[in-house]
Amino acid sequence: MKILIFGDIVAKPGRKAIATLLPQWRQKYQVDLVIANAENLSHGIGVTPASLEEMRSAGVDFFTSGNHIWKKPDINTVLQSANPVIIRPENYPPGLPGTGHRLLTVGVREILVINLMGRVFFKEHLDCPFRALDAILSEFHVRGKTPSTGVSRPVDGIFVDFHAEASSEKNALGRYADGRVTAFWGTHTHVPSGDSMTLKHGTVYRSDIGMTGLKDSVIGANTESIIKQFLTQLGDAKMHDVDEHGEVIINGQLLDFDGLSVNTWQALQESIII
């Protein structure tokens, strides 16, 4: 089974790049499932039902998110649907729309996708991601591993998107999850990390997948508008501008596993002109 993972897809250039390249990558790598982080789909901040459907049509099967998930209120209808194609971080306060984990059936396999968010350097006061992960893993475990509770359900794989700012927090939670989840990757910083590895107890790990967005930018946004925010210390959504054309960097991670262990964990990168 092959799973292709994308980090943050940023605005129209990122969406166009995915629509152009993903069909080629699905065929080239014989991909069974595509997961992408959607929180920056709509002009770089937030996600709408229309932008989700655009990416679904391009070949993305399922979406994780992060702190910008709430920027467009009409996404709530998708989060609350019977079979949502997107999840939000699990460790937001209870009572909010949506959920932070979902069980997917891919062929003959069942896999669990989990979305968590970090607390370091964020203004939000979220619940502990370590304890949120423990709560989910009390209900599910990777088939063949020792369950933490007698009611835990076996699944073929557990995959975690940790949307966090600090690489130290990502590294700590990844090692805390080691041996209990199949793969653990970070999103949010938009800069791909070069630390793809297999941890001591078998979990594959990478601190950040990296974005799909304009190369000549600051994490996908117009360079001048972001520099202005740093110089003036004034910033809002109107200043977060995104150019529509240029060279786009596509970052991905390809995972090949047989239901028991990961055979390969390969970083992918390509650029195209939009």
Query: Residue 16's pLDDT is what?
Result: 98
Tell me the mean pLDDT in the region 251-274: 93
Across the chain, mean pLDDT equals: 95
| Per-residue confidence band for 248, with pLDDT thresholds at 50, 70 and 90 | very high
* Contact by Cβ (8 Å): 84, 101: no
Going by C-beta distance under 8 Å and a sequence separation of 6 or more, which residues neighbour residue 73?
Answer: none
Q: What is 2-273's CATH topology?
A: Purple Acid Phosphatase; chain A, domain 2 (3.60.21)
Model's pTM, two decimal places? 0.96
Tell me the mean pLDDT in the region 178-192: 97
**Minimal CA–CA distance to 196: which of 207, 181, 183?**
207
What sections of 143-222 are H helices per DSSP?
A: 167-177
* Contact by Cβ (8 Å): 271, 228: no
Give per-residue pLDDT as tens, 88-131.
999 999 999 999 999 999 999 999 999 999 999 999 999 999 99
Give per-residue pLDDT as tens, 48-100.
999 999 999 999 999 999 999 999 999 999 999 989 999 999 999 999 999 99
Q: Is 201 a catalytic residue?
A: no
33, burial (CB in 10 Å: exposed 0-12, middle 13-18, buried 19+): buried
Indicate which residue of 43, 68, 101, 188 is catalytic. 68
Give per-residue pLDDT as tens, 198-245.
999 999 999 999 999 999 999 999 999 889 889 988 876 555 688 989
Give per-residue pLDDT as tens, 6-50.
999 999 999 999 999 999 999 999 999 999 999 999 989 999 999
Going by DSSP bridges, is the β-strand pair 157-163/183-187 parallel, antiparallel, or unpaired? parallel
